[in-house]
Chain A
Amino acid sequence: KAGVTQTPRYLIKTRGQQVTLSCSPISGHRSVSWYQQTPGQGLQFLFEYFSETQRNKGNFPGRFSGRQFSNSRSEMNVSTLELGDSALYLCASSWGTSGMRDEQFFGPGTRLTVL
């Protein structure tokens, strides 16, 4: 079956702009989680969506937001971009059986560069 897809793969923006990233999960998966990966901080959890509802949220400012559609596709938005937002943004999909083994499959990521 097809894996997790993310678009776009690369993005260059300037400070103050906003950006929207898209993630299409594996067919049948209802949970989509977003992570930010930087060399210094590693992978950090942004939020998780399950059945169109945000189920968990990490410690990121309100400039980072997301949503999930009825087909489980998810988008994340970053407003008023800062230089420090430059990172690889990864989404991961899973069945969403919280509390049990629920392997997360990662997409290839979107490399965001903020100038």
Chain B
Amino acid sequence: GQNIDQPTEMTATEGAIVQINCTYQTSGFNGLFWYQQHAGEAPTFLSYNVLDGLEEKGRFSSFLSRSKGYSYLLLKELQMKDSASYLCAVSFTGGGNKLTFGTGTQLKVEL
């Protein structure tokens, strides 16, 4: 199958750094997306990785290793508003725009 695995829950402190990991099946890999979803709202796009390496965008960075089937989302200088679900999604070749999502990591930021 095309399982996408990520931790279910994480807790971190305001101002800290947190890393959310995601692993996926490497066969047919096309690209990897990270989305943020606040409770009761639509997912919003955070980042896209297709090549190995780190993509930085403000407080958020995303890393990809294609050979290891591994990605992480790094959130720096955490703020209370970062409390949300973070979704890792992969597109596979031949799937068009179909995204296969992990079940999401619920991040709770505490004081």
- The CA-CA distance from A30 to B102 in the complex, in Å, is 26
B99 partner residues in chain A, CB cutoff 8 A: 33, 35, 43, 45, 104
The residue from B30, B44, B101, B104 contacting A44, defined by CB atoms under 8 A apart = B101
Choose the segment among B10-18, B72-80, B90-98 that binds chain A (4+ C-beta atoms closer than 8 Å). B90-98
Stretch from A14-22, A67-75, A94-102 contacting the other chain: A94-102
B interface majority secondary structure: loop
Q: Would A106 and B97 be within 8 Å (CB), given that A42-B103, A99-B30, A101-B48 are in contact?
A: no
Q: Which residue of B lies closest to A58 (CB)?
A: B98
Bound-state Cα–Cα, A94 to B45, Å: 12
Known: A90-B42, A99-B93. A45 touches B98 (CB 8 A): yes
Interface residue? B7 (CB, 8 A): no
Report if B22 contacts A (CB, 8 A). no
Quick one: which of A42, A101, A105, A109 contacts B104, CB cutoff 8 A? A42
Q: Report whether A94 and B97 are in contact in the complex, using a CB–CB cutoff of 8 Å.
A: yes
Complex CA gap A53/B99 in Å reads 18
Q: How far is the CB of A65 from chain B (nearest CB, A)?
A: 17
Quote the shortest CB–CB distance from B15 to chain A (angstroms). 29
Query: Which A residues, 44 to 87, have Cβ-Cβ distances below 8 Å to chain B?
Result: 44-45, 48, 50, 55-56, 58
A-B contact pairs, 22 of them (CB 8 A): A31-B96, A33-B97, A33-B98, A41-B103, A42-B101, A42-B104, A43-B101, A45-B98, A45-B99, A45-B100, A48-B98, A55-B97, A56-B95, A58-B98, A90-B43, A101-B31, A102-B97, A104-B33, A106-B42, A106-B43, A106-B44, A108-B42
Q: Which residues of A contact B (CB under 8 A)?
A: 4, 31, 33, 35, 41-45, 48, 50, 55-56, 58, 90, 94, 96, 98-99, 101-109
Q: Other CB < 8 Å A-B pairs besides A42-B101, A42-B103, A103-B45, 16 of them?
A: A35-B99, A42-B87, A42-B104, A43-B89, A43-B101, A48-B98, A50-B96, A94-B97, A99-B30, A101-B31, A101-B48, A105-B45, A106-B35, A106-B44, A108-B41, A109-B42
